[in-house]
Amino acid sequence: MSTTFQISPDEVHRALDDLDPVELVVAELTGKKAPERSFVVGPEAGLGVGLAEKYLVVEEPSSATRFLLPLGALQAVRGACLASAAARVFVPPGAATVSVLGSGISAELLLRMAVRYVVDVSHVAVCAVGGSVEEIVTNRVIDELDLSGISLAVTSEIAEAIFGANLVGIAGKSAVNIKIDQIARGAVLVNCSGWDLPASVVDGVATVYVDNLGLIEENLHRYFVGVHRSSESGPAARRRQEYHSHRIAGDLRGLLSGDHIVRAEPEGIVLVEMLGVDTLSTSLACQLMLAAHRLGLGNVIQDSAP
């Protein structure tokens, strides 16, 4: 007999406290992950349409135990971990002021990972876009901010939230109408939303990086990718030539593995676009499953014969 446990998004948060998700995600992105134990990871037709569309099955054959992990939470965790890794690369040493724009669990996780894994965060400002503040600034986030001695400001105005911030993170399912003149010089702008930022923002940054250059061909519809690949002639091309650095300078995969060197832009804004917002980390899923098992998390939903 095999036992199936269904994990809630809240339990994903609890399991994250039992491991270092940033290290796992970075190791997988750079190809340096440690060998995994024997797991079976993937969709499960037997779950039915309702569950199969929302959960990833992680099974450990040796224990005849499988866990259903919420897809949305897994994707949000991976994006938030890469955003924290990007901050380590691009945000200079010293006090970091963080602004989080967005909604839902994606923005909450972005905030949590920044608090836990970005060095020297002194202040956080949050603006809910397309959702409620309560979805982002949860009790667990407030507790972590208090324990870390980090001040918090909540506002309904984007300009107020990002004023003076040297790290701006965007997450959620809604487009964010941010303006280039609202962003501080030398700031790092990390877009985990999967939505295009306004063209004026893309045209106004100094440098663009992505998480993985291998995903460019799958994202030809994105504005900044079009700028990168454009070979047209005429006034539009001349305008883009003025922003020659808008060509994508590299990716986190290369920077974190040491294959690429960060292009110095002390006064310019760095834009980091996460193309793999729907990508799942197999390594993270397996370790979350083990953490959930250790902590006794999950609701038993079925017992079935092997």
What angle separates helix 104-117 from helix 21-29, to the nearest 10 degrees? 100
- On whether residue 79 sits in a domain, the answer given is no
Instruction: Indicate whether 190 belongs to any domain.
Output: yes
Q: Look at residue 81 and tell me if it is in a domain.
A: no
What is the Cα–Cα distance from 264 to 140, expressed in whole angstroms? 36
Same domain, 262 and 157: yes
- Quick one: 141 and 23 in the same domain? no
CB within 8 Å of 242: residues ≥ 6 apart: none
What is the per-residue pLDDT for 3?
A: 85
Check residue 263 and give its pLDDT.
Answer: 67
Verify that 108 and 181 share a domain, yes or no.
Answer: yes
pLDDT at position 173 = 83
Q: Is residue 83 part of a domain?
A: no
Using the Cα atoms of residue 169, residue 84, residue 9 and residue 50 in order, give the sign of their dihedral.
positive
Q: Does residue 63 sit within a domain?
A: yes
Q: 131 lies in a domain?
A: yes
- The C-alpha torsion from 211 through 215 and 221 to 223, rounded to 10°, is 30
Angstrom distance (rounded) from CA 158 to CA 165: 12
The pLDDT of residue 38 is 63
Determine the pLDDT at residue 128. 96
Global pTM reads 0.88
pLDDT profile of the chain (306 residues), mean per 10: 88 96 94 67 57 80 83 95 95 91 96 94 96 95 95 97 96 91 95 94 93 93 87 48 64 87 77 93 91 94 55
Q: In the prediction, which pLDDT does 21 show?
A: 96
Domain interval for residue 12: 2-74+280-304
Is residue 216 situated within a structural domain?
yes
Say if residue 188 is in the same domain as residue 244: yes
* Number of domains observed in the structure of the chain: 2
Could you tell me which residues come within 8 angstroms of residue 129 by beta carbon, excluding any fewer than 6 positions away? 101, 102, 103, 158, 172, 174, 176
* pLDDT (0 to 100) of residue 261: 72
CATH number at residue 224: 3.40.50.720
147, 112: one domain: yes
Residues 25 and 129 in one domain: no
In a domain, 6, yes or no: yes
The answer to whether residues 70 and 205 belong to one domain is no
Dihedral (Cα; 202, 257, 292, 52), 10-degree rounding: 60
Same domain, 189 and 287: no
pLDDT at 48: 53
Closest CA to 175 of 204, 201, 197: 197
